[in-house]
Amino acid sequence: MVPHGMHSHDRPPSDWVIRFANRVPAGGRVLDLACGGGRHGRYFLDRGHTTTFVDVRTEFLHDLVDHPVAEIIEADLESGSAWPLGNRQFDGIVVTNYLWRPILPLIIAAVAPGGILIYETFADGNEAFGRPRNPDFLLRRGELLEKLRGQLSIVAFGQCIQENTRVVQHVAAMRKP
């Protein structure tokens, strides 16, 4: 949760995202999916990457509307409507604190050759710490590994209790060049 009066982009990027950011090729295209305030996409913009921000609500991205290498797409990823990115591929895809299983195959397909998927979200056990509690929004143990098997090469994977406040599962996985 973001403290009242603070936007999600005011928080620093996830340590997991920072750890693997250098795996995105220099100048590569980055997708910040379900971006909220865009803290991760902003991090990649600052690193010189062309960045696409996608979220159901984009009002927290208003300051980026005229940015020369930022693209903002307002789309409801859970509505069942067409995938807003078509067949586009990205050198880096970042997804944090978001899970909508029906689009996982589309996310994986959007990783370009030589690109990386950096994914971190809530997992089983988080219900002991608070929201989300609904199993629809909690990854099962090893679920990201199952979904990526045979499609992307795993760089790193983990499931842990973070700061005694939440349970997360995270993966960094690359498509062969």
| Positive or negative: CA dihedral 141, 173, 41, 109 | negative
pLDDT at 4: 36
Name the more confident of 4 and 156: 156
Assess whether pLDDT exceeds 60 at residue 89. yes
Q: Is the dihedral of CA 101, 40, 15, 91 positive or negative?
A: positive
Q: Which of 7-11, 73-77, 94-98, 128-132 has the lowest mean pLDDT?
A: 7-11
State residue 9's pLDDT score: 57
**pLDDT(2) > 50:** no
Closest alpha carbon to 89 in 73, 69, 107? 107
Cα–Cα distance between 61 and 5 in angstroms, integer?
A: 16
For the chain, which domains are there?
8-174 (3.40.50.150)
Q: Give the model confidence (pLDDT) of 6-57 as tens digits.
A: 345 578 999 999 999 999 999 999 999 999 999 999 999 999 999 999 999 9
Query: What are the Cα distances from residue 85, in Å, to 2, 24, 64, 97, 140?
Result: 28, 19, 19, 20, 27
**This prediction's pTM:** 0.92
Q: Any idea what DSSP says for residue 56?
A: S
pLDDT at position 130 is 87
Q: Are strands 70-74 and 90-96 parallel, antiparallel or unpaired?
A: unpaired
User: Does position 5 have pLDDT exceeding 50, yes or no?
Assistant: no
Q: What is the tens place of the pLDDT at every residue in 135-163?
A: 888 999 999 999 999 999 999 999 988 88
Write the DSSP string, 164-176: TTEEEEEEEEE--
Taking the CA of residue 167 as centre, how many other CA atoms within 13 Å lie in the half-sphere pointing to its CB? 19
> By the 8 A CB rule, do 85 and 71 touch?
no
